[in-house]
Structure 1
Amino acid sequence: MPDETVAAGYRPLLFSIAYGMTGSVGDAEDIVQDAMLGLVKARRSGTAVDNVKAYLTTAVTRLGINHLGSARVRRETYVGAWLPEPVVVPAGEPGPAEHAELADSLSMAFLVMLESLSPVERAVFMLREVFGYGYPEVAALVGRSEANCRQIFARSRQRIGTAGSTPRTLPARQTEAAELADRFFAAASGGDIEALLGLLAPDVVVIGDGGGKVQAFATPPTGRLQVARLFAGLFRRFEKIGVTVRPAWVNGRPGALFHDPEERVVAVMSLDLTDGAVHTVRSVVNPDKLGHLGPVSDIGLKPQDP
């Protein structure tokens, strides 16, 4: 099999690692492309690459660590809540191959938790926790000793806590989640506050990422009544300005993609569900994080009560 075909077969894994490191679809794609070009240059210079997967995985991991070193400065000055660029698969569609490794592994909640870790800690924790690499492999990928990687992982797990685990969702649970999300968006679209109250967890919270470009929440709305009223009002505004709501899977969680009348992307929303209720709603409206999904709307939608 030609080298190019072999390398291309690893793209889903490489993209997932790069995305987990950066939280950015565009940056992840750039990192994977740089790693691929590095492989081509190495081959042309006469370097023997016996294990293409190991070469590319190492390159992507270390490029991701380097990227985070500069990105952390930007994150520290980020306006409002930070959420990763959403990876969206429309409901009922398999999506591109890049999403295969992402499903149910790199949720928005998990990526936000990883923000508390240093670049190397993030790499070690993600490679071990999400992708199941053994410590010898992790050590080779990040350029640290095996003992050091064990310490880093233990320290990172302690910092993140048990919430840092990433259990897989069974197909049956996915069906239940999709049905609950459908009921949530139907109730919001119909302005049915009573129905919304029955679908929301007592401590439900809404987190919005506008990046200072689009107005989001200064203080995250919390509690059933406040959140129910917020979405009833928000979806009334959707209807008035012609925004459509389309079910989607967002980072392996049920959610929706919003378009304006000109088919431009307005927002992406994901739902975290706990015990059959909506526990957290995450909304990305920052246009800089929506461009990979298509043309972005200039409506400047404000996710708050009208």
Structure 2
Amino acid sequence: MAAGTITDSELTIFLEHRRLLFSVAYRMMGSATDAEDIVQESYLRWRKASSNQKIRDAKSLLVSITTRLCIDEWKKARRKREVYIGPFLPEPVPTAMLHSELHDDRIDHAFLLLLEQLKPVERAIFVLKEAFDYSYAEIAGIVQKSEAACRQIFSRARRSIDVNKAPVSITRTQELLLQRYLTALSTADAKLLLSVIAEDAQIHSDGGGVAGAARRVVHGRIPVAALLLGVTRKGGSGEVYTASVNGMPAIVIYRDGKPVLVQCLAMDAQIRTLFGILNPGKLAAFKDRERLIREGVLSPVRFTIVMQLRWLWNRWIGRHFTVPMLRRLETETSYSRS
């Protein structure tokens, strides 16, 4: 075979494993854009390796190339994140894009943020073992460490972060809670909003210094509700969709055909954490709205005339909302204390 060439069968092999490579790279980098770049670079290196030698285990080599590229890129990315403006959140991706030969399906933002605590090699070992169930022998070959070292690093990493697995499929309870949340926002109904937010709720907003967003994490039911109502009253018009993003129920808002917000919600009986990504550089996975609608990723939210009238009324009254008023509303409800 001539150097620099690649056969159709070798291209087919690469394409067969492309989703797996993206899944590895995304969990390593927390960025769909970086993951795509790494997968493309993996393809180029795969071409070079395939044209110069006979590959016995294509999948293993492809994962090795991708993981090593991630380790190198992660070191650069970490330096950028140290000077990032405001909270840093992983880039949101439709859940359907992230399923591939997984042992552990957990891909939510809370879990990915915990992975940020790990060093590059620790993260690689943890992801390959926890999410893809690779053996220590396989991992040792990929990260170029001994099996004993990989086992020790994995155990240490597993102790340092919460590995409780969250279901990827959205439950009916979550769907109903999301609808109540949307109704509360679309009608500026503070009382209803308080009923769906947990007492210890928090909001992480990632604007990256480009889009307007809170530059620190907001904690507590009252501050969270006040922020949401304030943003809702000031916000302009837009098209609202629901989706499953990183295994979580999510709201996606478009203005002038462009995504401006992806808000993922971690919830059980109430909403506990909201992850709002407004940085336009992190919304690439949602740019092609029409395709996402065709594929069933996005579901449009329909607002009734009654809801719109209620929103106009509450918006006018909302100018007089204060934190003390929200506290009074909270104490009037039965859900305020457990």
Same fold (TM over 0.5): yes
Residue of structure 1 in register with 2:49 after alignment: 42
Task: Give the residue type in structure 1 aligned to 2:164.
Answer: S
Deviation at 1:88, TM superposition (A): 2.7
Structure 2, unaligned runs of 5 or more: 1-7, 290-317, 320-338
Task: Give the residue type in structure 2 aligned to 1:66.
Answer: D
Counterpart contact for 1:189–1:232, Cα < 8 Å: no
Deviation at 1:104, TM superposition (A): 4.4
Counterpart contact for 2:106–2:166, Cα < 8 Å: yes
- 1:1-306 to 2 correspondence within 5 Å? 2-45=9-52, 47-88=53-94, 95=96, 98-101=97-100, 104-160=105-161, 163-169=162-168, 171=169, 174-238=171-235, 241-260=236-255, 262-274=256-268, 276-294=269-287
Residue of structure 2 in register with 1:300 after alignment: none
Number of aligned residues: 282
Question: After the TM superposition, which segments of 4 or more aligned residues of structure 1 sit over 4 Å from their partners?
Answer: none
Larger radius of gyration: 2
Q: Secondary structure at the match of 1:164?
A: coil
Structure 1 window deviating more from structure 2 (26-35 vs 229-238): it is: 229-238
Q: Deviations over 1:255-290 (max 9, x none)?
A: 111111x1111111000013x110000001112212
Structure 1 window deviating more from structure 2 (78-87 vs 186-195): it is: 186-195
Deviation at 1:165, TM superposition (A): 3.4
Q: Secondary structure at the match of 1:281?
A: strand
Deviation at 1:84, TM superposition (A): 0.8
Q: Distance in 2 between matches of 1:177 and 1:36?
A: 39
Task: Give the residue type in structure 2 aligned to 1:52.
Answer: A
Q: Secondary structure at the match of 2:90?
A: coil
Deviation at 1:34, TM superposition (A): 1.3
Task: Give the residue type in structure 1 aligned to 2:263.
Answer: M
Counterpart contact for 1:247–1:254, Cα < 8 Å: yes
Q: Distance in 2 between matches of 1:184 and 1:87?
A: 22
Counterpart contact for 1:197–1:224, Cα < 8 Å: yes
Q: Distance in 2 between matches of 1:205 and 1:220?
A: 7
How many percent identity over aligned positions? 38
Counterpart contact for 1:191–1:233, Cα < 8 Å: no
The alignment's C-alpha RMSD in Å is 2.2
Q: Secondary structure at the match of 1:2?
A: helix
Q: Distance in 1 between matches of 2:58 and 2:242?
A: 38
- TM-score (structure 2 length as normaliser): 0.78
Q: Distance in 2 between matches of 1:86 and 1:154?
A: 28
Q: Distance in 2 between matches of 1:148 and 1:242?
A: 54
- TM-score (structure 1 length as normaliser): 0.86
